[in-house]
Amino acid sequence: MTLPQIYLRPAVTSDLDAILALERATDLAPHWPPAAYADILAEPVSALPDNFTTQRCLFIAEKNGSLVGFAVSLLHPAASNRVAELESVVVSASARRAGIGRALCRAVLDWSRSHGATEVILEVRVNSAAAVALYTTLGFTQVVRRLRYYHGPNDDALLMRLVLQ
């Protein structure tokens, strides 16, 4: 998938340093240990065994050969349906409002759907108005508000859900 000057693709091991640099430069991004990203990058994205427990995908967005965003999703198995969780979407401050977050979310939604997910859930800070608006325009609806869920800065979380068609 491409946008003007933007290229989306599954991340590979050689992207790890750039992913970590962008994540660390983004204050409100979830800050995971480097090993968490390394583990995701070590998983094959294409094959999905019938008896899997969980699987993650990590997509990146590049502009002029530089990483400007990434998204991580987790696929949970269940007996009757599979739920995907959009765990993180990070776009560099200089590249925001250019459709990169939307494109990354769509890549995750397509990946989730192609791997048998019937719905996607996410948590977002209530005060992240742009993120809440993006998720709403993608069709997510609010399920519950979790009071004082985030710290540093303190904020409530919205749990949002999208049923995949």
Catalytic residues: 123, 135
Tokens read off for 152 = 């540093």
d(CA 70, CA 101): 8
d(CA 83, CA 110): 13
Angstrom distances, CA of residue 49 to CA of 53, 58, 80, 118: 9, 18, 17, 17
d(CA 17, CA 72): 16
114 exposed, middle or buried (CB, 10 Å; 0-12, 13-18, 19+)? exposed
Looking up tokens 């965003």, which residue turns up?
Answer: 69
In terms of Cα–Cα distance, which of 165, 92, 164, 91 is closest to 134? Answer: 91
